[in-house]
Amino acid sequence: SAVISQKPSRDICQRGTSLTIQCQVDSQVTMMFWYRQQPGQSLTLIATANQGSEATYESGFVIDKFPISRPNLTFSTLTVSNMSPEDSSIYLCSVRDGYNEKLFFGSGTQLSVL
Amino acid sequence: QKEVEQNSGPLSVPEGAIASLNCTYSDRVSQSFFWYRQYSGKSPELIMSIYSNGDKEDGRFTAQLNKASQYVSLLIRDSQPSDSATYLCAGGSNTGNQFYFGTGTSLTVIP
């Protein structure tokens, strides 16, 4: 399986600021995804990061709030913009194993917004 | 109906017992299913995948898929305290791009 490095691992941010989360994979992958896991909840897909084109966002998530970059097949970033306490969550980068469809996760970013 | 529904528990079993975790899914979910284990404060870790009707065994873990009943389960034999975690059931969408996750079942194995 791919090795997925995600950083920062955690951060405490002030309301109104932005945080960019980085995801680096040790091999080229076609599909990269960003998930959110709010306290005590399951995983919610934010968007699919597409290489060379705009990300595909799920219902309830917009590009202005969660801009995503995917400059190549091994790297992506997610920015959480104009943060509020409701954005406090774990953010997870994930990649799809194209051969057998398995989904693997990075170590996650624990975000707290004050 | 949610795409993937999971009995949320919590589930407690004594050490050495069999833990049984269950999940049902809707028609929007394809025939690929996965079980993830998530320790507190950690990211989900894939422990089992199953694509065909029937049972699939891997060590102490057995995944079961019943397509007719749209039901998938995970059995953990000889449960250990280290198995204490939240277990997430997931299924691939029919479009092939998205995974649908259940809400997770919290398992505690009591020494």
Q: Cβ of A49: how many Cβ atoms within 10 Å? A: 24
Q: What is the pLDDT of residues A47-86, one digit of tens each?
A: 999 888 889 999 999 999 999 999 999 999 999 999 999 9
| List of chain A residues whose C-beta atoms are within 8 Å of the C-beta of residue B42 | 107-108
Instruction: Give yes or no for residue A23 having a pLDDT over 80.
Output: yes
pLDDT at position A39: 85
Distance from CA of B60 to the nearest CA of A (A): 21
Q: In chain A, whose CA is at the least distance from the CA of B32?
A: A101
Long-range Cβ contact pairs of A42-48 (< 8 A, separation 24 or more) = A42/B88, A42/B101, A42/B102, A42/B103, A42/B104, A43/A92, A43/B44, A43/B88, A43/B101, A45/B98, A45/B99, A46/A78, A46/A91, A47/A78, A48/B97, A48/B98
| List of chain A residues whose C-beta atoms are within 8 Å of the C-beta of residue B43 | 90, 92, 105-108
The answer to whether the peptide bond before residue B10 is cis (omega within 30 degrees of 0) is: yes
Task: Find how far residue B107's CA is from the centre of its chain.
Answer: 11
Under 8 Å CB-to-CB from B77, ≥6 apart: which residues? B18, B60, B61, B62
Burial class (CB in 10 A: 0-12, 13-18, 19+), B48: buried
At A100, the pLDDT band (50, 70, 90 cuts) reads low
Chain A / chain B CB contacts < 8 angstroms: 39
- Mean pLDDT, chain A, rounded, equals 92
Q: Which residue has the higher pLDDT, B95 or B80?
A: B80
Q: What is the DSSP letter of A111?
A: E
- What are the tokens at B21? 């975790």
Gyration radius from chain A CA atoms: 13
Can you count the helices (H) and strands (E) in chain A?
Answer: 0, 11
d(Cα B8, Cα B104) in Å, to the nearest integer? 6
pLDDT > 90: percent of chain B: 77
Taking an 8 Å cut-off on Cβ atoms, the answer to whether B43 and A105 are in contact is: yes
- Span A75-100, mean pLDDT? 91
Q: Which residue has the higher pLDDT, B78 or A29?
A: B78
Instruction: Give yes or no for residue B96 having a pLDDT over 70.
Output: no
Interface probe for A, chosen from B6, B36, B38, B43 (most Cβ of A below 10 Å), is: B43
pLDDT at position A102: 85
